[in-house]
Every structure is written in C-alpha cells, then in structure tokens.
Amino acid sequence: MKIIVTELIKTTNNLFPSRKEVRMIIGVIGLAIFISISELLMAHFFSLLILPDKPRSSGSLIFLSCIFLLSFAVLRLANFAKEHYKLRVFEQSFNNQEKKDRASDSWRWATAMELTTLLSMCGRLIVLSAILFYFSPIFGICNLLIGVGVFQVLSYRLSQQFESQYNFRHKQLIKEPVTNAEKVRTRIIAGEIGSLASSAGLIFLFGILIFLYAKDYVDPAKAFVLFIAIRMVGQIYSGFSSGLMRFARARVYSE
C-alpha cells in the first residue's frame, strides 16, 4: 500500500507544484466525491421510492419520481462540469511550467488524467467505506479488512509494472523496442489480476450481506443500498487496478 500512496503524492507535487494548483485539484476530487456520494444517496432514495414503509398515493409517487429524475439530471450535468474544469486546471498548470517536447508533454497530460482519476477513486472509496460503517458497522469492518488485502495486491502489481515499464523504456532508448503486443499484454494482464483480487473480495462481501439480511441485521431498503455500494466499490477497485497500470506507463514515459 505504501508504494501507491508514495507515487500518488510524488506525482501530484511534480505535476502541480504550487499550492493554488493543488487546491484546484482538490476541488476536482471533492466534486467527484460529492457526485459519488450523491449517486449512492440517489440509490437509497430510489429504494425508499419502490420499497416504501407504507403505501403512497399516485400524486405523491409522481412528485417524488420527478424529484428523483431531476436530481439525476443535475448529477449528470455536474459530472460534465467536473471534467471541463479538470481540463482547464491541467492546461493552466502545464502552461506555467517549463516547456518540453511534444511527446513528453503528451505523456504529462496522460499522467495528470490518470492521477486525478486515481485520487478521485481513492476519495470515493474512503467515503463509501464510511457510509458502509454508517449503515452496518459489522459490514464496514469486513469491507475495511478486505480493502487492505486488495490494496496490498495492487501495490505489488504496481511495483512490478514500474519495473516492466522502465525495462520497456530502456529497450526503446537503445533501439531494441519490444512489440506493442507485449506492452499491452503486460499492462492489461497486471490490471486484470488486480481486478480478480478485488472480485474475490466482493464475493465475500456479498456473502456477508446475504448473511446479515437473513439474520435481520439489515432491512430490505438498507440491503439494497449496501448492494449498490458493493457494486460501486467493485467498480472502483477494477478501475483503480487498470488505472494504476496506465499511470505507471505514463509516469515512466513522462520523465
């Protein structure tokens, strides 16, 4: 886990050296976290909409449905605004730094894109984990333990991927480049191994959720939200794994 934290912090300081730029990046990440939390709250809202404690009138159902659809549209617009703002932050930051050749500049953009995506995923994962604790402390602890195991696997895969990418870079410089098939295969397989590790953890979480529901530790509405949360956590782990491998490649070639 240490190598992931170290590389993300070091890369952030390298790409965005000023405090103003760091604050702007934090703003982008904060907006991504807000959207993620809102999506989970929307799932909870939807669960209460279709699984009410008592029957609702048609007028009340239509009104609540309109609120749900409007909120969903607002979230989509917020996500579009986040991506637009992120690109402006990159452009301003790189324009203020020393100019490099086009290839290096392209890899710096790729590194920045992967970095902010990974940081946003970390923030979303932390918030989702806290929400899982809120809905069920037992489930939250199980999620934390599994998360630590998954990140240990991802840290090991990242260190191996850096070694592979530095080796590819060295061979390119001495005019003995490896094939594109080998480059792609190395990166994708490493990412998929991380995804498999997270999938194994998700199977345990699903099993724990079914057990808690069967023992009446969680009601149907909470179980539905926890199911959505597990799916979101799984998507984050999968995206984080593949993103780490792309990040390693971009980081090596941007130096």
Tell me: the pLDDT tens digits for 4-61?
888 888 888 888 877 877 888 888 888 878 887 787 777 777 777 776 667 777 777 7
Quote the number of domains for the chain.
1
- Answer for the pair 136, 205: CB distance below 8 angstroms, yes or no: no
Mean pLDDT score of the chain, rounded to an integer? Answer: 83
- What's the predicted TM-score (pTM) here? 0.79
DSSP string, 10-67: HHHHHH--SHHHHHHHHHHHHHHHHHHHHHHHHHHHHHHHHS-SS---HHHHHHHHHH
Q: What is the CATH number of the domain that holds 21?
A: 1.20.1560.10
C-alpha to C-alpha distance for 192 and 194, rounded to whole angstroms: 5
- pLDDT, one tens digit per residue, over 118-172 is 988 888 888 888 888 888 888 889 899 999 999 999 999 999 999 998 998 888 8
- pLDDT, one tens digit per residue, over 197-254 is 888 888 998 998 898 888 888 877 778 778 888 888 888 998 999 999 999 988 888 7
pLDDT mean over 64-93 = 79
Domain that holds residue 168: 2-254
Residues composing the chain:
255
Q: What is the pLDDT of residue 43?
A: 73
